[in-house]
């Protein structure tokens, strides 16, 4: 069921409807998503929280076009995501989505600016344009002075900020983050959370973050609590403030 658009509230950038996903091991089938529906708004950091194994990462993968659900629909930026063929799906992810993962996914031989430039050539930018945009993205995450360093010369927090800059440089309307703080200490984890929240606000992107890190809750515009393949709560932590 669609949520009505209220005055002053932007329409949802991302919708999942009646999503179902199970995994089979031999003759045993384990349900992961149980008819789950949700909507995600632009300009907000939306957190999906819940215990390990509740289906958070599977939900993120289904909504982002990385893993096909067994049933249900995903509408992203007006596209019926799982109606696209594989090539169109890859093109959609390249043009409209950014990803930030727990493991950074950086290449050991490339400098920070080269990491960020990597997807920009596929978007049709020249090397000069790509470098300019990559440097601007690194500056936005506070790493302009570290642009020539390789991953082996960076801290965990810096690596994650490079990963965020790489996603940001594409100027995506959808940004997906899967446990982005779990490998970081308190200071760097806080920095990454602040950055994701600021990016949602300043770029108008819909940022969907999966995490069991309690620090994220305080900075999220909206928290969806998930257990056993279902959404149990939909809250706005700051709604009662001011």
CA separation for the pair 101, 180 (Å, rounded)? 6
Coil, strand, or helix at residue 208? strand
Give yes or no for a contact between 103 and 183, defined as CB atoms under 8 angstroms apart. Answer: yes
Our CA dihedral for 106, 107, 113, 119, rounded to 10 degrees, sits at -80
pLDDT of residue 240: 52
pLDDT of residue 242: 43
What are the residue boundaries of the structural domains of the chain, listed by start?
14-106+171-235
pLDDT in tens, 199-238: 899 999 999 999 988 888 888 999 999 999 999 999 998 7
- As given in the structure block, the two tokens for residue 153 are 């010369």
Give yes or no for a contact between 61 and 67, defined as CB atoms under 8 angstroms apart. Answer: yes
Q: Which CATH class is domain 14-106+171-235?
A: alpha beta
* pLDDT exceeds 70 at position 91: yes
pLDDT of residue 186: 86
CA separation for the pair 166, 8 (Å, rounded)? 31
pLDDT in tens, 127-177: 999 999 999 999 999 999 999 999 999 999 999 999 999 999 999 999 999
Phi-psi region of 170 (alpha: psi -120 to 50; beta: other; left: phi over 0): alpha
In percent, how much of the chain has pLDDT > 70? 94
- Considering just the CA atoms, what is the radius of gyration of the chain in Å? 18
pLDDT in tens, 34-90: 999 999 999 999 999 998 889 999 999 999 999 999 999 999 999 999 999 999 999
- Residue of higher predicted confidence among 42 and 185: 42
What's the pLDDT band for 187 if we cut at 50, 70, 90? confident
What's the pLDDT band for 182 if we cut at 50, 70, 90? confident
CA separation for the pair 189, 29 (Å, rounded)? 36
- As given in the structure block, the two tokens for residue 125 are 């930018």
pLDDT of residue 7: 47
pLDDT of residue 239: 64
- β-strand 79-80 against 206-210: which pairing, if any? unpaired
* pLDDT exceeds 70 at position 8: no
């Amino acid at each position: 069921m669609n949520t009505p658009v209220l005055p002053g509230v932007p329409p949802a950038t991302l919708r999942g409807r009646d999503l179902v996903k199970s995994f089979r091991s031999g003759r045993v089938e384990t349900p992961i998503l149980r008819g789950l529906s949700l909507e995600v708004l632009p300009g907000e950091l939306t957190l999906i929280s819940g215990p390990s194994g509740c289906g958070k990462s599977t939900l993120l993968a289904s909504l982002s076009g990385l893993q096909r659900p067994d049933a249900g629909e995903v509408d992203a930026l007006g596209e019926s995501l799982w109606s696209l063929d594989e090539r169109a799906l890859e093109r959609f992810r390249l043009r409209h989505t950014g990803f930030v993962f727990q493991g950074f996914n950086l290449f050991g031989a490339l400098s920070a600016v080269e990491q960020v430039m990597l997807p920009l050539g596929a978007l049709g930018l020249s090397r000069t344009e790509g470098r300019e945009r990559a440097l601007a993205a690194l500056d936005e995450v506070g790493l302009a002075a570290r642009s020539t360093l390789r991953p082996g010369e960076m801290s965990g927090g810096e690596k994650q900020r490079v990963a965020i800059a790489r996603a940001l440089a594409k100027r995506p309307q959808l940004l997906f983050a899967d446990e982005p703080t779990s490998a970081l200490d308190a200071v760097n984890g806080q920095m990454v959370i602040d950055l994701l929240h600021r990016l949602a606000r300043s770029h108008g992107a819909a940022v969907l973050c999966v995490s069991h890190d309690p620090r994220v809750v305080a900075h999220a515009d909206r928290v969806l609590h998930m257990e056993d393949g279902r959404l149990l709560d939909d809250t706005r932590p700051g709604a009662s403030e001011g």
